[in-house]
């Protein structure tokens, strides 16, 4: 169900939740990262940006409050950390660490550039705060999700086991649902038909 935006109190609670979750993620990132590389510093800067966005972003015109969307968001936040925690309990195998590092670094850069393009329109729930068409959004409609995919592949090339692969597949399933839910909301924007006509692919150029 796509609901109209609630009163300002509810909006502030949503912004506070984003701020608190992002702050918690930042603390976890700092605690679980033994040695910081370029990609890690990019993610730290990105989290600091989201903290600022959480207290300055505009009120959405529409937002999806459905249980399925809430579940998909929860899974999306949990599965990367579940992998890290599980690998500490049960170490995995290295597949191609050098290639994994390249993908993780590329994912970090793409995620940061996409966040810059989105700016104060960023959110975790499907919501309509405007239509983003610049930067990497000129090539695919969900470049941040592409960065998640690249990062997941990269981290698993560095260290993986069957449980981490299962967690990634679970995370990607939530990603697919979020894409469809977000497009159902954003399609209410007047510029959406023209944007879809010029940017045909959601995540993978030439494929989907």
Check pLDDT > 80 for residue 12: no
Report residue 162's pLDDT band, with 50, 70 and 90 as the boundaries.
Answer: very high
Tokens representing 172?
């990607």
Instruction: Look at residue 198 and give its three-state secondary structure.
Output: helix
Residue range 80-97, pLDDT digits in tens = 989 988 998 999 999 999
Q: What is the pLDDT of residue 174?
A: 97
All domains in the chain, ordered by first residue: 2-198 (1.20.120.1630)
Range scoring the smallest mean pLDDT among 3-17, 143-157, 186-200:
3-17
How far is the C-alpha of 157 from the C-alpha of 95, rounded, in Å? 5
Look at the chain and count its residues. Answer: 208
pLDDT tens by residue, 65-82? 899 999 999 999 899 989
Residues 103-161 pLDDT 10s: 999 999 999 999 999 999 998 889 999 999 999 999 999 999 999 999 999 999 999 99
pLDDT, position 27? 87
Give percent of the chain above pLDDT 90. Answer: 68
d(CA 40, CA 135): 22
Tell me whether strands 127-128 and 62-64 are parallel, antiparallel or unpaired. Answer: antiparallel
Orientation angle between helical segments 67-89 and 8-32, nearest 10 degrees: 10
Q: How confident is the model at residue 32 (pLDDT cuts 50, 70, 90)?
A: confident
Say what the pTM is. Answer: 0.88
- pLDDT score at 11: 55
Averaged pLDDT for residues 50-54: 89
């Amino acid at each position: 169900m796509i609901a109209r935006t609630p009163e300002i109190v509810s909006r502030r609670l949503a912004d506070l939740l984003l701020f608190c979750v992002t702050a918690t993620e930042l603390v976890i990132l700092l605690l679980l990262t033994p040695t910081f590389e370029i990609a890690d510093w990019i993610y730290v800067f990105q989290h600091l940006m989201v903290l600022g966005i959480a207290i300055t972003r505009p009120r959405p015109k529409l937002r999806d409050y459905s249980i399925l969307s809430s579940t998909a968001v929860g899974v999306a936040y949990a599965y990367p950390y579940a992998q890290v925690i599980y690998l500490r309990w049960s170490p995995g195998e290295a597949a191609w660490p050098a290639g994994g590092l390249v993908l993780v670094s590329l994912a970090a850069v793409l995620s940061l550039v996409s966040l810059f393009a989105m700016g104060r329109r960023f959110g975790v729930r499907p919501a309509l705060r405007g239509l983003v068409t610049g930067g990497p959004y000129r090539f695919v409609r969900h470049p941040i999700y592409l960065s998640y995919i690249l990062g997941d592949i990269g981290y698993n090339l560095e260290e993986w086991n069957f449980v981490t692969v299962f967690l990634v597949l679970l995370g990607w399933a939530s990603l697919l649902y979020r894409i469809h839910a977000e497009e159902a909301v954003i399609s209410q924007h007047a510029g959406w038909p023209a944007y879809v006509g010029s940017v045909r692919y959601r995540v993978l150029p030439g494929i989907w």
